[in-house]
Structure 1
C-alpha cells in the first residue's frame, strides 16, 4: 500500500472489484475486520475507504447489518437551456430527455427578511435591506430532486400584486414574467455551478445521506440595466440528477 492516503488506494481497489461484479448488487461486502486483514491496513483506513464509496453512491451502509453493493439509481436529466420558452411545448424526444423536470413543488415565502451580507452583495443592496425570500422543494414523480432558496429585494416589488412569487395573479409563472408585469425586463441570467456536500438539513429534505454529493447552482437574474432583481441558491442531488447546460453555437 502507498504511504500517502492509503484509504484512497483501498477505495479505488474496492471500486474496481465492485464494478467487476465480484459482489452482486444487493450483496453484503466482507466485514471491515476481514477487509483490513486482506489489505494489511487498519480498520480506520477501511472505514474511510468504505465511507468514500458510500458517498459516491456505490455502496450502502446499513446500521447494525454491514455494507452492501448499492442498487443503481437512474440519474434524471435536468437541462439548463438559454432557449427555453414556456409558450411552446417540448418535442416528445426532449420530454423524455428531461423527465427529471419537476412536476410539483412546495414553497414558502417570507417578507421583510433582512438580506445577509452575501445575498446583499449579489443583489447590489445593503446588508439588512428588506427582501422576500422563498424556499422551494421540487419533486419529480414524487421524488425530491431539487431545493431552492430565492431572494428578491422588497424595494422592487413591495406594493405590487407580484410581491409573493407563489400567490397573486402570476403565481408560479416565474421571475421573468412577474417582473415584466411591473415593467422590469429581465435580460440576463448568470449561473455559477459548484460541487458541494449535502448539509444535514439538505440531506433530510432530499432523502439522501449527509455528505452526499450535490450540485450547488448560484443563480442571479439581471434586468436590462444590469440591476440584479433576484438571486437564488439551487441544490441538486448528484445521485438523482445530471445537469446539462445547453447553449446556441456562435454564428460567424
Structure 2
C-alpha cells in the first residue's frame, strides 16, 4: 500500500505525539471522534491508524474501555548457535544463564497423526503418513515466549523407546541424543525464519494481540543420509524476544 495512504499519515502523527510524551505509558487516548477532528480526517481513517499502531505494539485496545499507550516490554535475546548446541535440545538441560532462554515449558504429544501435505513435503514422506505431533509452549521468567509444533515420522521411531519426545528413558534429551540412541546420526539443521502476524490462537497462548508481529521459524533436521527426521514450526513474539543467529568460523 502506498506510504501516503491517509491512515498511515495519521498513524505517523499519533506515533510522534506518543513518542514526545503527549500521552504517557498506560494513558488512555482521546476518543476516535476527537482524534478525527484534531487530524482533520474521518473516524474510519483514525480507526485504521490506531489499528496500525496496535499491530506495531505501541497501543493496546481494552474492550469496553478504550485505547491505551502500551507498556513497553523488555525484549529478551535468544541466541541460536550451531556451535553452542548442534541441535536445540530441552530447555531444562541448560543452566538458564542466557537471558531469553526458556526455563520451563509444557509439551503434549499425539501419535499416529497423518502428515498434512506441507509437512509431508518437508519430511520427504507421503501425505497421510503417520507421525508423532508435539505441541510445545515455552516460558521464560513465567511469561510465554515461544510456541513450537514438531512432527517426527513414525516410520523412524515407531516401536522404539523414543517414540514420544518427552517420555521414556531419553525424555527431554533433544533430537540429537534421542535419534542417536536408535542409530540415527544427525548432521544438519536447516532453519527458515520469516516475519508473520500472530493468529488469534497464537495471541491467546502467548498473551499478545492478534496481528502482533511474530517470527516464524521453519526448522527441519536431517540425518547423515540427508533424510529429514523432524520438522517444526516455531512462533516467537517480536515484542518478547530478539532472535540472534551466531555462526562459527571454519578454520583451514
1:96-151 per-position Cα deviation (integer Å, ceiling 9, x unaligned): xx311111111111111111000000000000111111011111111111110000
1:208-223 alignment runs, 5 A limit: 208-223=208-223
For the pair 1:168 / 2:175, whether they are aligned, the reply is no
| 3-state SS of paired residue (1:61) | strand
Q: 1:247 to 1:3 in 2, by over 3 A?
A: closer
Partners of 1:232 and 1:119 in 2: CA distance = 9
Partners of 2:228 and 2:184 in 1: CA distance = 11
Q: Runs of 5+ in structure 2 lacking a partner?
A: none
| 3-state SS of paired residue (2:101) | coil
Structure 1 match to 2:11: 11
CA displacement at 1:55 relative to structure 2: 1.3
1:190-201 alignment runs, 5 A limit: 190-201=190-201
Structure 2 match to 1:41: 41
Q: Runs of 5+ in structure 1 lacking a partner?
A: none
Structure 2 match to 1:81: 81
CA displacement at 1:21 relative to structure 2: 1.3
Partners of 1:205 and 1:26 in 2: CA distance = 23
1:60-90 per-position Cα deviation (integer Å, ceiling 9, x unaligned): 212222221111111111111111248x977
1:193-228 per-position Cα deviation (integer Å, ceiling 9, x unaligned): 111111111111111111111111000000111110
Structure 2 match to 1:122: 122
User: What stretches of structure 1 move > 3 A for 4+ residues in a row?
Assistant: 249-252
Partners of 1:249 and 1:213 in 2: CA distance = 32
Structure 2 match to 1:206: 206
Partners of 1:157 and 1:63 in 2: CA distance = 47
Partners of 2:126 and 2:94 in 1: CA distance = 40
Partners of 2:199 and 2:69 in 1: CA distance = 24
Partners of 2:62 and 2:117 in 1: CA distance = 41
1:45-194 alignment runs, 5 A limit: 45-85=45-85, 95=97, 98-194=98-194
Partners of 2:25 and 2:171 in 1: CA distance = 45
What TM-score do the two structures reach when normalised by structure 2? 0.92
User: Which sits farther off after the overlay, 18-27 or 71-80?
Assistant: 18-27
1:150-171 per-position Cα deviation (integer Å, ceiling 9, x unaligned): 0001000111110110000000
